[in-house]
Structure 1
């Protein structure tokens, strides 16, 4: 019996980076890019349908971001394949934390499942040792 993808069959890597060229510390504007790689280690294709981010600002304020797909796409990811994209977050200070989840759908069963994205730090230069 072929087993449908579960969240443990999908792995997410995150590579955050501070964008000095787009940031303006005097205006409390700190821009970060983050590259997400979604690895489908299951036997079924899956489609990434939606995202939910919880962004904790330096001020302690928490911003919730929800939307369809990622970067304007709802990609289909075949077994053994990856999908990579880069997006941005704008913070009110030099350090913050993001975490969230992707809602995916199994291409065979059409059942949705959640893939958690572990918390990751966004930090400007010389902020974290």
Structure 2
């Protein structure tokens, strides 16, 4: 698990490879990642947008931008935790992702860029 804290907001990511949805012969490798967002700030915040940069070991770089996460734009009070699971398919056995969330403080509308730490996507047998 990797973790990053930005302006009191802690983002942790844990990954999992799914061989049952992967096919090495067709260069299809399926991963999920579980994200935990903890609001350690003194402000109520709302997650507005996400921005991902996805790399595979074939040299492909994909950029994804969009509203919210898994169809939601959660509001987190101080001390709240929000978790979600999403997925990524790669054309190689090794890759990585990094990104950011745009969040907005509810009291004054100030926007914050919260860093999502870089994490690896690796088929387990490549680690041996």
> Within 5 A, what are the aligned runs for 1:1-129?
7-129=6-128
User: TM-score, with normalisation over the residues of structure 2?
Assistant: 0.93
- 1:61-81 deviation line (CA, Å, top 9, x unaligned): 110010000000000011001
- Unaligned runs of at least 5 residues, structure 1: 1-5
Q: CA–CA distance in 2 between the matches of 1:75 and 1:125? A: 33
More strand by share: 2
- 1:36-65 deviation line (CA, Å, top 9, x unaligned): 000100111100000000000120111001
The residue matched to 2:25 in structure 1 has which SS?
Answer: helix
- What's the offset of the Cα at 1:7? 2.8
Moved over 6 A (4+): none
Q: CA–CA distance in 2 between the matches of 1:99 and 1:49? A: 17
RMSD: 1.2
Q: CA–CA distance in 2 between the matches of 1:128 and 1:52? A: 28
User: TM-score, with normalisation over the residues of structure 1?
Assistant: 0.92
Contact 2:56 2:90 in 1 (8 A): yes
Aligned pair count?
A: 124
Contact 2:50 2:101 in 1 (8 A): yes
- Unaligned runs of at least 5 residues, structure 2: none
Q: CA–CA distance in 2 between the matches of 1:68 and 1:42? A: 22
- 1:66-111 deviation line (CA, Å, top 9, x unaligned): 0000000000011001100000000001110100000000011111
